[in-house]
Amino acid sequence: MYRPPEIDRTRPPYVRAGRENLGVVRAAPDARLGRVHVTTVVVGAGHSGLAMSRRLAERSIDHVVLERGEVANSWRTERWDSLRLLTPTWHLTLPGARALPDADPDGFLSVAELVSYLDGYAETVAAPVHTRTTVSRVAATDGGYEVTTDRGTWTCATVVIASGASNVAALPPAADGVPDTVTSLASAGYRSPADLPEGGVLVVGASASGVQLADEIARSGRPVTVAAGEHVRIPRTYRGRDAFWWMERAGVLDERYDEVDDIIRARHTPSPQLIGTPERRSIDLDSLQQRGVRLVGKLGRFRDGVAQFSGGLSNTVRLADLKLGRLLDRFDAWADEHGVDDLDDPRRPAPTTVAASPPTELDLSREGIRSVVWATGHRPDHSWLALPVLDHKGRIKHQGGVVTGAPGVYLLGTSLLRRRRSTYLGGADQDTADLAEHLAAFLAGRSTTGEGAA
């Protein structure tokens, strides 16, 4: 487990690291002063925060990375046991990272493998991480920002928010109506089918997490019902190549945030129905039904122990199939345009089939449903930001990661931040390069205008 090296406190207020650490300045709160100044504070030591640390070190910008738990904390504590990445290993590129010598580039890392990789990455880039340091407040000062934690206070000129977009389960109001006799569990709290009581399971949500959990729980022998709302259907492979091979080459992942219609909606599009497995199998509503999973429409509410669902399931799957067809059309057009001829025949997945009249109500007790698993996504928790940067839904306002209303504050690690690839771990490579350049220019501008340090 990675822990930052000890600080030499004989040279207050901080000590410059050696050449192997690329000129990073390691800072720690002084026991007498109660606060320390550093140029940049990065909040969060996940893949984005660590990648940003590398970019700042490349520019000799002194900084600290503050992490409430351990490196890659959410991956350590909020993922189920069997989970693997959706993206192939070759797609996981972080600045300055060492290669994974024993990993199949076309394979999919397990959670344990990813945590080990990020632990090693933190050591490789000598990230000045302060673990078990919880940020409770970020506020503006006359010359910059003040970051208050449970282990001291930092003042700084710039702040990078890399605390992730999945801090709190985004449960719908219907969650309050689950009967007391039924176990209600968010996906972040699920580890394996053994966590669930015997009996039927209702999985709410049909994006990546929902279909993966439904598949695993059904394989354990429990009867499973999936309440499917909006979803994105993509086969694991098409014409013999991985979905990410196609999206990379066809330019899908390089579409910029300012080129996308309705960017707010695009940033909240469900994650695609993909699963990482050694056999590279596809997963969708049809494959779940073949395993015996029952499909119903989007969950509306629970009333007196009865779950009520939308009657629009047929329209929902038809829309997903339509969007899939458009995406595969784009892949085929790219292949034709570039004369790629070493591909399999363009056989497409069959349209999703659902019952003509799926049930719109299920009595949980009568159906033997003993647990509800919520795969309805997550939302960030920015309650610690004492800055005028949040919209009416509590989301940070920004333009490609440059936060609006707080000069020198940046955001990382959210869906479609600067490009579509930002949604995935490998997107941090380009995102951090762009935002570190902007941050350095901001600091240079402060210097030329004569602004003092915070």
Is pLDDT of 246 > 80?
yes
The CATH fold assigned to 171-377 is FAD/NAD(P)-binding domain (3.50.50)
pTM assigned to the model: 0.89
From residue 263, alpha-carbon distances to 75, 229, 255, 305, 389 in Å are 27, 20, 11, 38, 18
Can you give the pLDDT at residue 14?
24
The Cα 167–Cα 425 span in angstroms is 17
The Cα 98–Cα 192 span in angstroms is 32
Q: Classify domain 14-167+380-448 at the CATH superfamily level.
A: FAD/NAD(P)-binding domain (3.50.50.60)
Output the average pLDDT for the chain.
Answer: 90
Mean pLDDT for the stretch of residues 406-422? 97
Mean pLDDT for the stretch of residues 134-142? 97
- pLDDT tens, residue by residue, 70-98: 999 999 999 999 999 999 999 999 999 98
**Hey, do 14-167+380-448 and 171-377 end up sharing a CATH topology, with the first three levels equal?**
yes
Where do the structural domains in the chain lie, given as residue ranges? 14-167+380-448, 171-377
- pLDDT tens, residue by residue, 219-245: 999 999 999 999 999 999 999 999 999
- pLDDT tens, residue by residue, 322-348: 999 999 999 999 999 999 999 999 999
Beta bridge partners of 307: 302, 362
Mean pLDDT for the stretch of residues 47-54? 98
- pLDDT tens, residue by residue, 92-129: 999 999 888 889 999 999 999 999 999 999 999 999 99
- pLDDT tens, residue by residue, 149-202: 999 999 999 999 999 876 788 899 999 999 999 999 999 999 999 999 999 999
Convert 27-80 into a string of H (helix), E (strand) and C (coil).
Answer: ECCCCCCCEEECCEEEECCCHHHHHHHHHHHHCCCCEEEECCCCCCHHHHHCCC
DSSP calls for 111-165:
HHHHHHHHHHHHHHTT--EE-S--EEEEEEETTEEEEEETTEEEEESEEEE-S-S
* Cβ neighbours of 147 (radius 10 Å): 24
Can you give the pLDDT at residue 101?
80
